[in-house]
Amino acid sequence: MTDFARERMTQLLAEIRAADIAYHVHDNPIIGDSQYDALFAELKALEAEHPEWVEPSSPTQRVGAKPVGGFQEVRHQVPMLSLDNVFSVEEFRAFVQRVQERLGSVKQLQWTAEPKLDGLALSIRYVRGQLIQAATRGDGETGEDVTANVRTIASVPLRLAGYAWPEHLEVRGEVIMKRVHFDQMNADLAQRGEKTFVNPRNAAAGSLRQLDPALVATRPLSFYAYGVGALSAPLGESHDAVMQALKACGIPVNPGRIVGDAAAMEAAYVDLLHQRAELPYEIDGLVVKVNALSHQDTLGFVQRAPRFATAWKFPAQEARTRLLAVEFQVGRTGAITPVARLEPVFVGGVTVSNATLHNFDEIARLDCRPGDAVIVRRAGDVIPQLVRVLTELRQTELPRIERPRCCPVCQSPVEQAEGEAVLRCSGGLVCRAQRLEHFKHFVSRRAMDIEGLGEKLLASLIDAEVITTPADLYRLKAAQLQALDRMGPKSAANVIDAIEASRDTTLARFIYALGIRDVGEATAAALATHFGSLEAMSTAETDALLAVPDVGPVVASHVSSFFASAQNRAVIEALRTLGVRWPDPPQHVVDALPLSGQTWVLTGTLETMTRDAAGDRLRELGAKVSGAVSAKTSCVVAGPGAGSKLDKAVSLGITVWDEGQLIQLLEAL
Ligand code: 9MJ
């Protein structure tokens, strides 16, 4: 019996370790979460029966006791270097030239290019394959012993795989927190009323420096290796070979590639910069290294940094500036959004002078006041955010921002629905701001698609009272447009043509264009397919609306109250009389469509069609197309540059297709 138990424990250890490596090192899970949990639970139960057989490197032994007396100092046997930085292509070329001059005799120099992870540097020491110690960089000579905390990081092996490792092996790399994990953790912290972290790097650093390993174990940290420290035997002759050897030991490595020359490195920089926002973790540049270790040795070091490598930094995503004022913008549905006006600052590659503050609760949470020094963040193409206020720099008492009581545009009273953070203007279409936003939405590309009717022109038409409802657009005459400032006959005729062309539309677009609250494109498409006509939809009872996939009680009530308004019905009637029309949707019953009930997500770049076009085709086939991956997602189509959504899909075990598979499906249906 005990022999059997011991054998089973060995088998479980092997299976769990293999699953860990497949998941963390190869990004290619071999078993599902519940199967993994079952193996883990079985091992734990057997270990409880036979504590004498518990291996210190068992995956059940990740969480240990608190280090007594805080973190001890660790002297690094081989100093932990930092990287020199370059900030421009000229500086980068100068670096390459310096290296080439120093290695004068070498003809075909090989380089590696890898993302620069933005986390916390760590050195992990393995002796005879067992994790013995982990230390932070500190000042490069002496760091802190964070072994107990690092043992809790699921992707750090407690025992190396295989047997091809040197007796002493020091692995160096970065501890990071992936974006999805960061968002999730911050949401959990906020829900518990605890302090949230400003960015993933602070979250990783703050977590690793917690004294209680049990708490660290709850923080979703990851580790990627990018180098080695002290070694009792070489792992290879090049940086790339060393990384492959680490991977074979079951250590997750920073993904790099070999590049031939400066031009290829410059292309790698641009590629990575484009992928940046989609990657599952934050990076702040491209690291290039001379590949051959013999060349690295020849080049040596200057002060604390190697001559054989450099970090070509991306434009910073965070910058300090000053908050000048907070203004309130009124959206299409009356939502009042506070916007921070900032002293212009160069961040994320552009000059930023506005940042979103989301809602009034956010103002209260940040406690931002005009005059404050603040940190703004612009990541990828997303709207800049105000992430932190440097309250410690406030020298005099600054005035708090008052919650608006009336709409800043039309002075109607402000409302706040129970349980909602959003403040709303109660003025409806009386409010000029809501009217303008309503028109902007109506003419937008995914709605009635009227080109040439920009915000400025719409505002002039509204102010001149030429248009008060969307139906007025179809009564516009070129002469009226020309009468407005600086509108030539040709431009006026183009606008009229665009309006004319928009009369032929689809029911889904028309429903979307109406701007019913919470009815986005996907819901509009679902309503169109389900009801087949505007009449059926506009007279539907709540129960009938609730039968539409994607429609819940809130949306159903918005739809009902929209059509209950005589004014709305009159506008629709006028639009139809003025010639707005659409073909009858396909006479399918919803459930009969091939992809009914499925939710698809498109991410990354598609090469033979746009994501919009692919989304339209999928919707026509009955699928819902969503922007976010969840357990309910049926399939994710990932093109080049796919990042966090792909990562989430993989972690949830959701089917992932490439563009070719999607095209095959679309052709087959
Ligand atoms: C980061 N942070 O991703 C190095 N790093 O190499 C990479 N850092 C490094 N390499 C030598 N990819 C010293 C630091």
CATH number for the domain spanning 474: value is 1.10.150.20
pLDDT at 587 over 80: no
What pLDDT does 589 receive?
A: 55
Q: Give the 3-state secondary structure of residue 136.
A: strand
Q: Is the CB of 114 under 6 A from ligand 1?
A: yes
Residue 1 has pLDDT above 60, yes or no: no
Give yes or no: residues 141 and 249 share one domain.
yes
Indicate whether 588 pLDDT > 60. Answer: no
pLDDT at position 381, please? 67
What's the whole-number mean pLDDT along residues 388-415? 93
Q: How many CB atoms lie within 10 A of CB 305?
A: 16
Q: Are 664 and 562 in contact (CB under 8 A)?
A: no
**Rounded distance between C-alpha atoms, residue 160 and residue 16, angstroms:** 13
Domain presence at residue 68: no
Helices 200-208 + 179-191 axis angle, to 10: 70
Q: Do the Cβ atoms of 417 and 424 come closer than 8 Å?
A: yes
Per DSSP, what are the bridge partners of residue 287? 114, 311
Average pLDDT value for residue range 157-175:
95
Identify the band that residue 649 occupies on the pLDDT scale cut at 50, 70 and 90. Answer: confident
Q: Is 175 in the pocket of ligand 1 (CB under 6 A)?
A: no
Q: Do residue 251 and residue 103 come from a single domain?
A: yes
Phi-psi region of 550 (alpha: psi -120 to 50; beta: other; left: phi over 0): left
**Digit-coded pLDDT (tens) for 335-385:** 999 999 999 999 887 899 999 998 888 899 899 999 999 999 987 667 899
Taking CA 278 as the corner, what is the angle to CA 243 and CA 246, rounded to the nearest 5 degrees? Answer: 10
Pocket mutation for ligand 1, best pick of 76, 116, 228 (most atoms within 8 Å of C-beta): 116
Who wins on pLDDT, 92 or 421?
92
Instruction: Evaluate if residue 578 carries a pLDDT over 60.
Output: yes
Q: Is 592 exposed, middle or buried (0-12, 13-18, 19+ CB in 10 A)?
A: exposed
* Token pair belonging to 183: 């968002």
312 CA to centre of ligand 1 in angstroms: 11
The reply to whether 280 and 175 lie within a common domain is yes
Q: Which of 399, 426, 453 marks a domain boundary?
A: 426
Q: Determine if ligand 1 sits within 6 Å of the CB of residue 253.
A: no
Is this model's pTM higher than 0.85 or not? no
pLDDT score of 96: 95
Ligand 1 lined by 510 (C-beta under 6 Å): no
Range 239-270 burial, b when 16+ CB lie within 10 A, else e: bbebbebbbbbbbbbbebeebeebeebbebbe
Same structural domain, 375 and 445: no
What residue owns the CA closest to ligand 1's atom 4?
Answer: 226
Strand partners, 376: 319, 386
Are 280 and 137 in the same domain?
Answer: yes
Answer whether residue 349 is part of any domain. Answer: yes
Structural contact between residues 54 and 61, judged by C-beta atoms closer than 8 angstroms: yes
Decide which of 502, 534, 550 is a domain's last residue. 502
Given a cut of 60, whether residue 492 has pLDDT beyond it is: yes
pLDDT, mean of residues 88-93? 95
Question: Is 287 in the same domain as 151?
Answer: yes
In a domain, 400, yes or no: yes
Average pLDDT over residues 175-189: 94
The answer to whether residues 181 and 291 belong to one domain is yes
Let me know: does 637 contact 655? Beta carbons within 8 Å: no
pLDDT bin (cut points 50, 70, 90) of residue 625 is: confident
- Say if 407 falls within a structural domain: yes
20 in any annotated domain: yes
**Single-letter residue type at 97:** Q
**Pocket flag, ligand 1, residue 81 (CB < 6 Å):** yes
| Distance (Å) from CA 340 to ligand 1 centroid | 36
Q: What's the domain range around 547?
A: 507-577
Question: Could you give phi then psi for residue 385, rounded to 5 degrees?
Answer: -120, 150
Interatomic CA distance for residues 427 and 407, integer angstroms: 8
CA dist 603 and 618 (Å) reads 14
Of the ranges 42-46, 276-280, 495-499, which one carries the lowest mean pLDDT score?
276-280
Ligand 1 centroid to 348 CA: how many Å? 22
The finding on whether 83 has its CB within 6 A of some atom of ligand 1 is: yes
Alpha-carbon distance of 9 to 44, in angstroms, equals 9
632 is catalytic: no
345 belongs to a structural domain = yes
CA distances from 414 to 5, 459, 566 (A): 68, 23, 24
* Residue 391 and residue 378 share a domain: yes
Task: Say if residue 465 is in the same domain as residue 520.
Answer: no
Give the pLDDT score at 592: 66
Phi, psi of 262 (to 5 degrees): -60, -40
Q: Are 97 and 169 in contact (CB under 8 A)?
A: no
Burial class (CB in 10 A: 0-12, 13-18, 19+), 313: middle
Question: Do both 127 and 51 map to the same domain?
Answer: no
Tally of domains within the chain: 6
Task: Tell me which of 172, 251, 287 to substitute to probe ligand 1's pocket, judged by most ligand atoms within 8 Å of the beta carbon.
Answer: 287
Quote the CA–CA distance of 155 and 24 in Å, as a whole number. 5
Sign of CA dihedral 513, 517, 518, 523: negative
Neighbours of 419 (CB within 10 A): 5
Write out pLDDT tens, residues 244-267: 999 999 999 999 999 989 999 999
pLDDT, residue 27, reads 86
User: In this structure, are strands 423-425 and 599-603 parallel, antiparallel, or unpaired?
Assistant: unpaired
Is the C-beta atom of 185 inside 6 A of ligand 1?
no
Please tell me if the CB atom of residue 20 comes closer than 6 angstroms to any atom of ligand 1.
no
Q: Establish if 335 belongs to a structural domain.
A: yes
With beta carbons less than 8 A apart as the criterion, state whether 144 and 138 touch: yes
**Domain final residue, candidates 255, 290, 313:** 313
- Cα of 163 to ligand 1 centre, how many Å? 26
CATH code of 653's domain: 3.40.50.10190
Regarding whether 220 and 185 lie in a shared domain, the answer is yes
In this predicted structure, the answer to whether residue 581 has a pLDDT above a threshold of 90 is: yes
Question: Span 319-335, mean pLDDT?
Answer: 94
The verdict on residue 76 lying in a domain is no
Tell me the average pLDDT of the chain: 92
- CA of 201 relative to ligand 1 center, distance in Å: 15
Same domain, 282 and 368: no
- Give the pLDDT score at 60: 94
Residue type, 645: K
Query: Catalytic residue among 66, 107, 116, 490, which?
Result: 116
Confidence at 668, pLDDT banded by 50, 70, 90? confident
Q: Is the CB of 287 under 6 A from ligand 1?
A: yes
pLDDT of residue 624: 85
For residue 185, report the distance from its CA to the centre of ligand 1, in Å. Answer: 26
> How much is the pLDDT for 505?
95
